[in-house]
Amino acid sequence: MFELKGKIAAVTGGGSGIGKAVALLFAKRGAEVHVLDFNESACNTTAKEIQEMSGKAFMHHCDVSVREKVEEVFNEIGRVDILVNSAGISHVGNIENTSEADFDRLFNVNVKGTFNCIRSAVSIMKKNKVGVILNLASIANNVGLADRFAYSMSKGAVYAMTLSVARDYINNGIRCNCISPARVHTPFVDDFIKKSYPGKEHEMFEKLSKSQPIGRMARPEEIANLVLFLCSGEASYITGGDYPIDGGFIKLNT
């Protein structure tokens, strides 16, 4: 089950965190993986790891917020069966201490970046009359999170885009879903804790972990497992959905 042999997948943000876990898992399931990331070194590392385990991977240094660059990369890839939009950035702040520059930065990467990649992928998938798009949304779509104003805005937009694309292209053989993770232990979390709470890293890590009802953060590999299912043939009847993977956060915290 969940084999991706013969499939060509593009994974944005594939240089680290959830995107990297998805890229590695897709390769293990037989997909040809195209890794897109703003961090050229990280992107190259993921591609090399896949190649070292006898998988097929290509790296693409790409800023998803730049329309022309995204078009160039997708034209280079040619055929795309699966698109996973994992590239994204975060921000801490409410509306009063979120600057216009902060807002624009979140919008450009999380919203415009997702738009750019979907737009390029859809034009390819329509020709083949088949395709799967999986977007990374967030629990912030469903609950109010303190000091996550701009981030919540951007992920709410990703959720809305998911529904719209799923409806518009259902007759073109294109499925589109999103998942909504709670806190995931990625390099971003470690960097955030280090910068924000110097000398209290362990204490804050434990506090953030225990804020999840299940008692810990998710591992990127656990998120990748859900992505694999939704992008596989076993999920062929699933489209237009948002799937929380949150350790009980949404339902058990409300």
Asked about 151 being catalytic, the answer comes back as: yes
- The Cα–Cα gap between 82 and 84 comes to 7
Q: Over its length of 254 residues, how does the chain's per-residue pLDDT go in tens digits?
A: 899 999 999 999 999 999 999 999 999 999 999 999 999 999 999 999 999 999 999 999 999 999 999 999 999 999 999 999 999 999 999 999 999 999 999 999 999 999 999 999 999 999 999 999 999 999 999 999 999 999 999 999 999 999 999 999 999 999 999 999 999 999 888 888 888 889 999 999 999 999 899 999 999 999 999 999 999 999 999 999 999 999 999 999 75
- The Cα–Cα gap between 79 and 128 comes to 9
- The Cα–Cα gap between 8 and 20 comes to 16
Q: Name the CATH code of domain 8-252 (choices 3.40.50.1100, 3.40.50.2300, 3.40.50.300, 3.40.50.720).
A: 3.40.50.720
Q: What distances in angstroms separate CA 121 from CA 6, 23, 48, one per listed residue?
A: 17, 17, 24
For the chain, what are the domain ranges? 8-252
- Of residues 151, 159, 169, 197, which has the active-site annotation? 151
